[in-house]
């Protein structure tokens, strides 16, 4: 179980002791937030100090709830944006995999085509060599026949 911390804070000019498992720094931050909200209300409502304490507390609670709801809406919006970004990321990754497979297939096809081209070039070279040999034999036969 977490250790309890107790800290003195000033809220609206009065000293209070806060106790809890939060850090002292966090409890001071909470008190500072409340002081800022009270200060904002005093600035917005000129007769704030004349209001009943219950009404002051209610106004403070409403303002804090408003902050909470706004933050919750931001959180929901960020969650929706995060979910959308994750869906887009998944889609992009899926497309990337498809393109990788297509690239690999294209490279295999290119390799097979290059092998086939090399085979055809080799056959053509053999055919041309045979034709040259035959042609050379005919020329030799003609030259030998002319000499006789």
11-58 pLDDT, tens digit per residue, is 999 999 999 999 999 999 999 999 999 999 999 999 999 999 999 999
Q: Where are the domains of the chain?
A: 1-47
**Cβ pair 37, 63 in contact under 8 A:** yes
Q: Quick check: 148 pLDDT over 70?
A: no
What is the structure's pLDDT at 146?
A: 66
**What are the DSSP calls for the chain, one per residue?**
-PPPEEEEEEETTEEEEEEESS-HHHHHHHHHHHHHHHHHHHHH-TTGGGS-HHHHHHHHHHHHHHHHHHHHHHHHHHHHHHHHHHHHHHHHHHHHHHHHHHHHHHHHHHHHHHHHHHHHHHHHHHHHHHHHHHHHHHHHHHHHHHH-
Percent of the chain with pLDDT over 90: 85
Q: Quick check: 86 pLDDT over 70?
A: yes
The average pLDDT across 81-86 equals 97
What is the structure's pLDDT at 138?
A: 79
Alpha-carbon gap, residue 70 to 77, rounded angstroms: 10
Q: Quick check: 140 pLDDT over 90?
A: no
- What's the chain's average pLDDT? 93
What is the structure's pLDDT at 11?
A: 96
The average pLDDT across 68-81 equals 98
């Amino acid at each position: 179980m977490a250790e309890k911390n107790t800290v003195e804070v000033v809220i609206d000019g009065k000293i209070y002791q806060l106790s809890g498992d939060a850090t002292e720094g966090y409890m001071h931050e909470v008190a500072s937030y409340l002081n800022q909200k009270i200060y904002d209300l005093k600035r917005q409502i000129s007769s704030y100090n004349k209001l009943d304490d219950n009404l002051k507390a209610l106004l403070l609670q409403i303002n804090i709830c408003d902050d909470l709801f706004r933050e919750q809406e931001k959180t929901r919006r960020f969650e929706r944006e995060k979910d959308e970004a994750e869906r887009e990321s998944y889609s992009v990754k899926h497309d990337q995999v498809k393109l990788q497979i297509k690239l690999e297939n294209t490279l295999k096809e290119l390799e097979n085509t290059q092998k086939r081209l090399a085979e055809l070039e080799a056959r053509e070279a053999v055919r041309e060599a045979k034709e040259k040999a035959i042609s050379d034999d005919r020329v030799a036969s003609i030259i030998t026949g002319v000499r006789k």
